[in-house]
A and B are shown apart, each in its own frame.
Chain A
Amino acid sequence: MGLATRHALGWNERVTTPMPRRVRASAAPTVLLIALFALVDPVRPASGQDLPPQPTEVSAGPIFAVEDTIPVPSALLPVQIVTAPRVTLDEILRRVAEGEVRRDSLLQDQSFTMLAALTYLDAGKGGAPATRRQWESAMQVYRKRPDKVRTVPLRTRSEFKDDDGMSVQVGPGMSEELVNFAFQPRARSRFDFRIEERHLVGDRVIYVIGFVPRSKIDPLPTGRAWIDTKEFVIVRQEFWYRDRSPSPMFFKSIDSCVIERTQVDGKWWVLSRILARVQVTSLARFAARLGKESLAPTVDFTLSIRDWKVNRGIDDAIFAAKAKK
Chain B
Amino acid sequence: MRSRRFGLAIACALAVAASAAPAAAQTPAPAPVDSLFRLLRALSDSTDARFGAATVEFDTTGLDTLVANALTLPATPTPRRLRVLYPVIGYHRTSGPVVGAGYRVGSLPAGFLDLRGSYAASAKLGRYAFGYRKTLWAPAGPLPIFQAARPGLIGRRDRLDLELRYAREFMPFMPEHADADAGGFGALLWGSGAQSVYERRGFSGGFALWRGDWRARAGVTDAREKALPIATYFSFFGHESDVAPNTPADADAFTEPYGELAFLRRDWELAGVVTVEGTGERRRLRGALGKAVRLGPNVKLSTQVEAGAAAAAAPRQRRFELGGALAVPSLGYGQGGTDHLLLTRVEMIGSPDVLKALHLPHPEWFILRPSVFLDYGNVWDDPACRDVVFSRPPAEDWRGAAGGGFAWRIGIPEPDVTMRMWMAWPLGPRAGAPQFNFTAGRGFELLGRL
Contact = CB atoms under 8 A, between A and B. Distances in A.
A180 B393 CA distance: 49
Given A152-B76, A282-B363, A216 B43 contact: no
B428 interface: no
A42 B28 CA distance: 11
Interface in A108-129: 113, 115, 117, 119, 121
Interface in B10-53: 10, 14, 17-18, 21-22, 24-26, 28, 30-40, 42-44, 46-47, 50-52
A281 interface: yes
Interface in A75-107: 76-78
Interface stretch (B62-70, B105-113, B118-126, B160-168): B62-70
A202 B363 contact: no
Contacts of B363: 281-283
Interface centre among B17, B37, B43, B350 (most CB of A within 10 A): B43
Contacts of B70: 140, 152, 154
B241 interface: no
A203 B25 CA distance: 17
Contacts of A140: 66-67, 70
Contacts of A42: 31
Contacts, number: 200
Contacts of B369: 217
Interface centre among A131, A150, A215 (most CB of B within 10 A): A215
Contacts of A150: 75
B387 to A, nearest CB: 41
B67 A307 contact: yes
A32 B67 contact: no
B360 interface: no
A70 interface: no
Contact of B50 (A190, A256, A325): A256
Given A32-B21, A45-B43, A302-B55, A202 B67 contact: no
Given A201-B39, A228-B36, A281 B58 contact: no
Contacts of A2: 28
A13 interface: no
Contacts of A277: 51, 55
A113 to B, nearest CB: 5
Interface residues of B, number: 71
Interface stretch (A49-57, A245-253, A288-296): A245-253
B57 to A, nearest CB: 9
A151 B300 contact: no
Nearest to A201: B35
A147 B24 contact: no
A217 B55 contact: no
Contact of B56 (A138, A206, A275, A284): A275
Given A45-B43, A147-B141, A248 B77 contact: no
B15 to A, nearest CB: 9
Interface SS of chain B: helix, strand, loop or mixed? Answer: mixed
B18 to A, nearest CB: 6
Given A32-B21, A151-B76, A325-B77, A119 B55 contact: yes
Contacts of B74: 152, 321-324
A226 B71 CA distance: 36
Given A154-B66, A204-B36, A300 B51 contact: yes
Given A43-B39, A325-B77, A115 B67 contact: no
A283 B365 contact: yes
A9 interface: no
Contacts of B3: none
9 contacts: A113-B63, A131-B55, A154-B73, A202-B36, A215-B297, A277-B51, A321-B75, A323-B76, A323-B78
Interface of A: 2, 4, 28-29, 32, 35-36, 39, 42-43, 45-46, 73, 76-78, 113, 115, 117, 119, 121, 131, 133, 136, 138-140, 146-147, 150-155, 172, 186-187, 189-190, 199-204, 206, 214-217, 219, 226, 228, 235-236, 246-250, 252, 256, 258, 260, 262-263, 273, 275, 277, 281-284, 300, 302, 304, 307, 318, 321-325
Top 8 A-B pairs, shortest CB-CB distance: A147-B141, A324-B74, A202-B35, A201-B35, A216-B351, A140-B70, A131-B54, A323-B77
Given A35-B25, A115-B58, 7 more contacts: A78-B26, A113-B67, A154-B63, A216-B351, A277-B55, A323-B74, A323-B78
